[in-house]
Structure 1
């Protein structure tokens, strides 16, 4: 038997996978919540804890979950990346009756996209990186508005989520993190952490009206959590736009807002 072949890209991701165990935040009825703190920034320092969190849909929060969100987490603003049709059908559960500000900023390829099936018309021929580029291209206003909210300390802490907390959420996370100078492999590592929760995520989504008929878990379908597409997406941001900071500026974020985003997210 010859020597084992090791993918150096996967090795680099593994370096960051357990960077800080405080990043996972556990809830009874939300499956994929992590703090964007603790990630290394290119010019030194790390991202700040307690400012912004990424999540799967939190619509089924229990009373204890809500108490945790409003108490220790300090949630003030929920940025919802789902389509308006998903929001109308699924709602926000207990969050709708809380003091949390709910902001719907859809991430979709076109304004006419209604449901997840419209975002991915053929899951069997899926090129995730190309999907991410198309979603980014169709969602400039949503991305800039989300960055603007996070840059304002009056909105903290901020949760952003879609359904699974993987694709639409992963794109916004990548844009924010690249814009403030987080290392590329740390961005990819943050993305692939969803693999730890994907079985649980799919099982919960399958109970909801908007996500009936979901494909099974596989290495190539919409539930795949492969570092390669995100690595290509981040590389494309840098090659085609000079990085996410330039992309945000081109889509309306001001230089002052970009400085504020870096100030509040990096310590």
Structure 2
């Protein structure tokens, strides 16, 4: 877990701490045999998985679905497991084609603060990382700091060993490969976000209102 000034908690494994914005991997949460999932304590869930992903593994709690689904992205991410340059291209394409969905995610978080909201995709790594990074850089967190915290969140994902193993079997891969994928992506995330210019302008251009942006800045802005 990583913590931003008491206002943002970055949770890769479904844990709960005080704050208003969280991240997780919905597939890992669903597959981990932990009894009552800690995420049930949240009232607000945003599910970024594609229609096919959501249909194959349904969550045990209601979630607002905002699919971020770029055809072929999952295979490209797997192929680029250790290649930051290739992964950056996937991230750029995702931002280019799914900008309105990312704006919708930011708007949903704004509409629900100060209540906590948890955002998740399948593993809580790529789509979730992009969504969280866009929100945080838009409210004033330095990109380098956001990328550093993102890598800490990725590194926490393999701690859900049972869930990761079940995910690996379902996706014809190995836990070792998934763990390796969780160690990369920092430079790719940095390059992709740098290329879009000002992240707040990116979100505004794709449908986020200035009122939503003001709300996010009030609730999440860093206080040093």
Which residue number corresponds to residue 109 of structure 1?
70
Aligned residues: 214
8 Å contact from structure 1 (residues 34, 54) kept in 2 = no
8 Å contact from structure 1 (residues 32, 194) kept in 2 = no
8 Å contact from structure 2 (residues 110, 215) kept in 1 = yes
Distance in 2, matches of 1:81 and 1:89, equals: 14
Structure with more contact order per residue of length (Cα contacts < 8 Å, sep ≥ 6): 2
8 Å contact from structure 1 (residues 90, 210) kept in 2 = no
RMSD of aligned C-alpha atoms?
3.3
For 1:134-182, what per-residue CA distance to the aligned partner results, in whole angstroms no more than 9, with x for missing partners? 1112212221111111111368211001122111111001110111111
* 1:118-133 → structure 2 map (5 Å cutoff): 120=77, 122-123=79-80, 126=83, 127-133=86-92
- The reply on whether 1:82 has 2:54 as its aligned counterpart is no
Which residue number corresponds to residue 65 of structure 1?
37
List alignment gaps of at least 5 residues for structure 2.
none
Distance in 2, matches of 1:34 and 1:171, equals: 21
One of 194, 197, 216 as aligned partner of 1:235: 194
Which residue number corresponds to residue 200 of structure 1?
159
8 Å contact from structure 2 (residues 164, 175) kept in 1 = no
1:233 Cα shift?
2.1
Which residue number corresponds to residue 213 of structure 1?
173
Structure 2-normalised TM-score? 0.79
List alignment gaps of at least 5 residues for structure 1.
1-16, 36-48, 96-100
Which residue number corresponds to residue 31 of structure 1?
13
Which residue number corresponds to residue 175 of structure 1?
134
8 Å contact from structure 1 (residues 34, 55) kept in 2 = no
For 1:53-90, what per-residue CA distance to the aligned partner results, in whole angstroms no more than 9, with x for missing partners? 01122224644434x742xxxx1111111111111001
8 Å contact from structure 1 (residues 82, 162) kept in 2 = yes
| CA distance 1:83–1:155, shift in 2 (3 Å) | farther
2:70 aligned counterpart, secondary structure: coil
The structure that is helix-richer by fraction is 2
| CA distance 1:182–1:252, shift in 2 (3 Å) | same
Distance in 2, matches of 1:84 and 1:218, equals: 22
Structure 1-normalised TM-score? 0.67
Distance in 1, matches of 2:20 and 2:104, equals: 16
Which protein is bigger by CA-based radius of gyration? 1
